[in-house]
Amino acid sequence: MTASITQLAIYLVVLLLLSVPLGWYIARAMEGKSAVNRLFGGMEHFLYRLSGIRTDAEMGWKQYALAMLLFNIVGMFVVYALQRLQLWLPLNPAGMANVSADSSFNTAVSFVTNTNWQGYVGESTMSYLTQMLALAVQNFFSAATGIAVAFALIRGFVRHSSKSIGNFWVDMTRSSLYVLLPLSVLVAVVLMSQGVIQNFKSYVEVSTLETTVYSVPRLDPQGQPLKDEKGNPLVDEMKTSKQTLPMGPVASQEAIKMVGTNGGGFFNANSAHPYENPTPLSNFVQMLAILIIPAALCTSFGMLAGDRRQGWAILAAMTLLFIVMTVTVMYFEQQPNPALAAAHAAQGNGISGMMEGKETRFGIIASSLFAAITTAASCGAVNAMHDSLSPLGGLVPMLQMQLGEVVFGGVGAGLYGMLIFAVLAVFIAGLMIGRTPEYLGKKIGVFDMKMMSIAILMTPALVLVMTAISVMVENGLAGIANPGAHGFSEILYAFSSAANNNGSAFAGLSANTPYYNVMTGIAMWLGRFGIIVPVLAMAGSLAGKKRLAATSGTLPTHGPLFVTLLIGAVILVGALTYVPALALGPVIEHLQMLAIH
């Protein structure tokens, strides 16, 4: 474990050091006060004039929410239309067919909600135009939406006796133009230097040195695998001496995929594909890009709140939760496989640990760290097969999503999610001492608590109800490729990922069916906007309140006690809600694995 702790420590040191100046810059850029704003202010104002936006017209929370919803609904229809028409559109050298209606719906919702759940194989489904104009554009816009909502909530805490929480169009423009775009360009250049491809070439067919023998599952007319009377899948043996190498503008997609905590891969193998993630350095850069903005926004929050310690407290809670989760998954992935030990089989290449589903160029440690990072954020990018993680190793990514994607979380979404839990923490503390809860000088009232409750309980309700339905109906059970506890885990992971807008998967579940495309699409939409609207409502309520002076009875929200309360609130609501479901899945599977001895 020494090597694991060393890699984790190096990663966190670099991340936290870079997040401080970036957070300072983001705060100033979003408020229009940075040098970059002055340098490119002409371009910004030209965009406003072109679209008829009045920058001096701020919005109340209802107007802000309506603008946000309309913008994302229009984006969803555009993404849907581009998929349905891609066969007749340009930049389609491989002649990709139009995407089916249910898959197009799922993908449109997925990318608009910053989930980037992919039920399709990217290199054989999406044209270059669809990848760029539909998916990559939404990678920017969905991330910008998260940042905009986070700053709207910050203004709710900072402003007093105000009827407005900002201007959605200005927030979207500044977060895209001054934050996401420059960072994406920087990351894309670094990735190209490591060998990530960036071109518009047609796919290349090459002859292999050896004939490859592989098995193809037999499918029924509905696309589901056929099985024999014993339940074993039926397969046909195939041979080939040819291989098709996919091409495309990958580096540009990869950069915003990570910087925006989107996670949708250009290729089906995502960041395990050598064209997306070829070297250990590109792997480290991608891991850094995932959490850099979520960590930096904590600094931005502290600056705008007038007390940097407030941001540090939020960041400390996130970091402590992340360390515990990461060390746990690293530990279990490095344990020997009991099944191999019982069969007296040597672990591959002398490696003691779970190497199944992992790339040898990254190994167990970097793969485990990546899995923890991508599910701590609402990213969902993967450089290993999460379905092949050990039972308790796989529990960690699942649990991190179920905590509400607040262990750093997505771009903007992690911060406003953790601030919701901060409100819960001061409410619990207020109950203990018999005081009305306050946070940052704002009294937390009945309306605020109702909005907080909706925001916190929305995703657990979606995950647990939809998982329960799916294990009871034939269409849900048909997608399970693995029987027993692991099959249940695959469904639970799928809805945990969808409702929490992560996008990673236990890919043993055949989710590209009309049933799962519709169900996960609903979960993604409600899991995103069913939380954002209450958050904006709370922001509007808080902005209209007067700021109270701190007294001797005010709970300090910047010290170790508050950090402990905040972590406790996250675990109390997030973890305990899912204990019965986790016991039916990963816990039982772990006990079954140990029983092999």
**Separation CA 25–CA 35 (nearest Å):** 9
Which residues have a Cβ under 8 Å from the Cβ of 301 and sit 6 or more positions away?
150, 154, 310, 311, 314, 415, 419
Of the pLDDT bands very low, low, confident and very high (cuts 50, 70, 90), residue 572 is confident
Q: What is the DSSP string of 471-484?
A: TTSHHHHTTBSS-H
Task: Give per-residue pLDDT as tens, 32-49.
Answer: 888 887 888 788 888 888
**Residue indicated by tokens 């998954």:** 329
Task: Give per-residue pLDDT as tens, 265-279.
Answer: 999 999 999 999 999
Which residues have a Cβ under 8 Å from the Cβ of 442 and sit 6 or more positions away?
156, 157, 160, 542, 545, 547, 548
Of the pLDDT bands very low, low, confident and very high (cuts 50, 70, 90), residue 352 is low
Alpha helices in 120-243 (DSSP H): 122-125, 128-129, 137-158, 168-174, 181-193
Task: Give per-residue pLDDT as tens, 541-563.
Answer: 999 999 888 777 778 888 999 99
pLDDT of 347 over the 60 cut? no
pLDDT of 87 over the 60 cut? yes
pLDDT of 523 over the 80 cut? yes
pLDDT of 586 over the 90 cut? yes
- How far is C-alpha 7 from the geometric centre of its chain's CA atoms? 22
**Separation CA 113–CA 118 (nearest Å):** 13
Single-letter amino acid, residue 326:
T
Mean pLDDT score, 188-214: 92
pLDDT of residue 101: 95
Q: pTM of the full predicted structure?
A: 0.92
pLDDT of 217 over the 90 cut? no
pLDDT of 221 over the 80 cut? no
| Phi-psi sector, 223: left (phi>0), alpha (psi -120 to 50), beta | left
**Separation CA 575–CA 404 (nearest Å):** 10
